[in-house]
């Protein structure tokens, strides 16, 4: 049974805005959904509280998921929210400063900071963390591709910066799965090359 009840908080009570869905997979017996910014502040607090009931896990601060400039992705199983990812994303368009800098050699980039991530204990060990990381990274990659394709003039170089501070092996594993989908060896990188954009990649992460 996928129901998890701790301190009278039920994951089925965490209401999602399904219109913000970015990805679904599975079948009628077991279906999965990833949404973006679809939980209320109170629901996010409740979900972090559920996670923190497991004393064997690293305690999380709910503030990471509540800040205004953070994108929050939610993972649900059969309609129940079981995990969260807090991420910061910012583009840096060097060509906008070329007149001031007197140079056209600057590199446009995106900074992606993985602020915090978790999956409830009952749902770990099922490969959900890897799926969550891959699918959100793919979504971010598509957004980068579409954004670059719409810009004029197009730059011939683009840098992806990923930042993360680990506090557990799960966080480290999630970060590397996320980064793999945006690295120089990824399909994302090959698409940029086909657009005559030379991608580069930097992972700044550690304990």
Taking phi over 0 as left and psi of -120 to 50 as alpha, with beta for the rest, 63 belongs to alpha
The position carrying tokens 């963390």 is 129
The position carrying tokens 């805005």 is 17
The position carrying tokens 């959904």 is 33
Task: Give the residues across from 155 on adjacent strands.
Answer: none
Go through the chain and tell me how many residues it has.
207
| Nearest-angstrom CA–CA distance, 143 and 129 | 21
Domain boundaries, the chain: 5-206
Task: Give the residues across from 73 on adjacent strands.
Answer: 36, 85
| Nearest-angstrom CA–CA distance, 78 and 84 | 16
Pairing mode, if any, of strands 21-26 and 157-165?
unpaired
- Residue 172: CB partners within 8 Å, gap ≥ 6? 166, 205, 207
Task: Report the run of H or E that residue 161 belongs to, with start and end.
Answer: strand 157-165
For domain 5-206, give the CATH number.
Answer: 3.40.630
Report the SS3 class of residue 23: strand
The reported pLDDT for the residue numbered 169 is 87
| Nearest-angstrom CA–CA distance, 65 and 56 | 21
Largest CA-CA distance found in the chain, in angstroms, rounded: 63
* pLDDT tens over the chain, length 207 residues: 233 333 444 555 566 666 789 999 999 999 999 999 999 999 999 999 999 998 888 889 999 999 999 999 999 999 899 999 999 999 998 765 555 555 545 679 999 999 999 999 999 999 999 999 999 999 999 999 999 999 877 778 999 999 999 888 888 999 999 999 999 999 999 999 999 999 999 999 887
């Amino acid at each position: 049974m996928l129901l998890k009840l701790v301190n009278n908080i039920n994951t089925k009570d965490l209401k999602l805005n399904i219109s913000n869905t970015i990805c679904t997979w599975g079948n009628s017996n077991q279906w999965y959904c990833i949404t973006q910014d679809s939980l209320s502040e109170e629901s996010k607090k409740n979900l972090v509280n559920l996670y923190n009931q497991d004393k064997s896990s690293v305690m999380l601060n709910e503030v990471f998921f509540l800040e205004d400039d953070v994108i929050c992705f939610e993972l649900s199983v059969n309609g129940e929210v079981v995990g969260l990812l807090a991420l910061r994303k910012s583009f840096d368009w060097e060509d906008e400063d070329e007149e001031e800098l007197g140079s056209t050699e600057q590199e446009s980039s995106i900074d992606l900071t993985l602020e915090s991530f978790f999956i409830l204990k009952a749902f770990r060990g099922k490969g959900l963390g890897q799926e969550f990381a891959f699918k959100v990274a793919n979504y971010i990659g598509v957004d980068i591709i579409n954004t670059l394709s719409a810009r004029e003039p197009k730059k011939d170089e683009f840098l992806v910066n990923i930042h993360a501070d680990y506090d557990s092996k799960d966080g480290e594993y999630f970060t590397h799965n996320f980064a793999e989908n945006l690295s120089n060896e990824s399909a994302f990188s090959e698409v940029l090359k086909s657009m005559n954009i030379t991608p580069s990649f930097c992972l700044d992460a550690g304990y």
